[in-house]
Structure 1
């Protein structure tokens, strides 16, 4: 039996970029849902819809039970996702979309350090200097927020988003580890199952039926999230986390566009300059030559 043909890294990069675009659209839908019915119910009903979609896709293939390693990564990533998503969407309802996404750009930079520690991927010495540059970018965004006098709610929202970004940096590493032992359908199914299970623990106290006007947004958010997860799982199975991390930067364009079209938000010069510093820092830290995934790695993919 011949080894599977390797996937060119630019194709994996393009798939990851498209996944980010769809996820940015989901963020815009979720912001509206969070404002309408609160972060918990927006999350609960979105994951309920995702669970139905992914169950149909995953179970149609008559899958076998996941192995021990795969199940461990499913549980760990699901747990991290709960904290990451709740804090992000809570903060997103309180700050402009472009600002929230710009702050999240520290996640790929943190992921580079984690990739070196956990995945043994090679990361250059530029990481320390790039980290300082990224911190300066975050400071610039916060300075703009202070000058705009957005209020205490926006400050708390900003803190929540930074906390979410820290969780997401680990999530990037988990995507790579998880994608090496499970396929996209399995990953999507178990993530919706585990995250939904965690959310259901608080249902007796917090759950409420969604308003009729929120049914379509719930289904749209679920479809966008599922498609995004499939694309990103496919991409991270074929390229290293440190190579794909920069795809996150394209979300700023989408966040600015959706924020303007849907919520009438405008990007401040401070947010734009801060995002530029953070993106520059991450690109400098992640510089590498493109190539192909090793044949033995590609052949082992599910």
Structure 2
């Protein structure tokens, strides 16, 4: 295929919350260049849920932004290390990326993750609400109804992509639109449309109270009991929450550009190599079937740890440059 430079599309992510943990390390590339890599986990409380947002980090020492992430590593306080009262509230701005690889079983694992670029510590007087949102120029490829218990839920899976620097085609994985917006969204965005969409990043456990049967007590003393709760589900997706009118004219991706992007994706998948040994898959947006099970309440399936908040193989680790 003839090399053709695709137009880069807008791709912005903003996360505000309390820093739960940080795992950052300065490393050296094969050619002797230093860089920082690792991840942060931010607790972001909104929509009556505690969201765990994982932020992947990769920054060359030569970058003008390196001092910022170096300050995070050396100075920022976390819930795990310093306690909830002392932990820093932070704002992270970055972009949505796509991580993908073949595991040892030969299965293709794909998930989106949040890549952090700018990091700011918020002071105690800052009352901006917690959030985990993205504004992304998206080429919409199609919709698929969500079915549960053989019935449509009204939600739809959304298939689409955006384009980053250097012809990087970033597919949106595990993306949905809720029942209340689905009809309006699909009417406004026919297949092949390009437009600016707003997303909410969801990653939380659903915890319900365990109902106990009423039994006559034959014990002694106080009958007051602690409420029993259990995790009943995990929600992990990118949710469309709004958008602008689709682009038209020169701003819209043409059929030719869309075809070029799809060809680039096809070639990228062909170039992916299978690793010699297994690595624990997790991240944002894979199907969850390739995940190693972890300790869960009886009867629970392994959660979809395919989010930017878990330890996925870092494709940027030990770069050649």
TM-score range, shorter chain: under 0.3
Larger radius of gyration: 2
In the superposition, the TM-score normalised over structure 1's length comes to: 0.23
| Larger RCO (alpha carbons 8 Å, 6+ apart) | 1
Name the structure with the higher strand share: 2
